[in-house]
Amino acid sequence: ERSKKIELGDESIDATQNYKRNDLFSANYVKVILFSTMHTFSLSFVICIVHHISSFEYGISNFGEPECIVDKNVLYIDGIKMSTLTPSQQQELASYQQEMDAYEKKMDECEQLMSKSADHKDISCPDSPQRPSFCNVTVMNIEGCKFMDGKLYIHENLVRELTNEEKTKIAQFNEQYKKYMDYQNELLDQAEYDMDGNMIMNGTTMSDQQPAVPMPKNPKICTSF
């Protein structure tokens, strides 16, 4: 699996490969650098899961698949220690490692075939295996406040459990954001750009138009100053 690193002016944000530029909040001169996100180490098995991050007017929010790391059967999500793997989770991890070994071997074979062939149409490379289910946690960063598994973290420190009302707000915010990004990506598929890099839709720039799906408002459960 691969991700993109997108540099916007002096800021850098990571995004999934299907992330598309959000012209409402991004600067010109977007530089995209592809890099690998899968690594294995002898002392610890690391599953690097891509972040989906977008620039917001009130800070940086990320949605999707957080970094998932297992070291000596201890699970860390986005840098936060979560729990010790259960026996069934350890078996799931062992199965994943075997699948990854087989995947990497097939990818090596695929790359060799592609290097020898001018026509890649008949070459089919395998998909990477699904990550372990214990990695499936939604993490959102809003103005330095991290929301994960119904809890609030600040600078990787657990602050408190969210109330039921706050959990509902976060869930609603997440759904609204997904709809907003789907709309933005749909626009980008149809858009053209002027000489200054501004998006043009129906003869006017995007900044002149009111989006049909607005960006969700900050739930303001935690606010930085």
The predicted pLDDT at position 63 comes to: 47
What letter would DSSP give residue 18?
T
| 3-state per-residue secondary structure call for 144-213 | CEEEECCEEEECCEEEEECCHHHHHHHHHHHHHHHHHHHHHHHHHHHCEECCCCCEEECCEEHHHCCCCC
The predicted pLDDT at position 153 comes to: 93
The predicted pLDDT at position 210 comes to: 54
The predicted pLDDT at position 90 comes to: 96
Look up residue 183 and give its two tokens: 């709309």
The predicted pLDDT at position 99 comes to: 95
Give the containing element (helix H, strand E) for 116.
helix 87-116
Residues 6+ apart with CB under 8 A from 73: 84, 85, 90
Strand locations in 85-134 (E): none
- Cα–Cα nearest to 17, from 1, 39, 31: 1
- Please give the Cα distance from 24 to 20 (Å, whole number): 12
The predicted pLDDT at position 100 comes to: 93
Question: What is the distance of C-alpha 144 from the center of its chain?
Answer: 17
The predicted pLDDT at position 105 comes to: 92
User: What's the average pLDDT block by block, 10 residues per block, for the chain (225 residues)?
Assistant: 34 33 31 28 35 34 68 91 94 94 91 77 82 88 88 91 94 88 81 67 53 82 79
The predicted pLDDT at position 98 comes to: 94
Question: What is the distance of C-alpha 225 from the center of its chain?
Answer: 26
Do 221 and 146 form a contact (C-beta atoms < 8 A)?
no
Domain residue ranges in the chain: 2-163
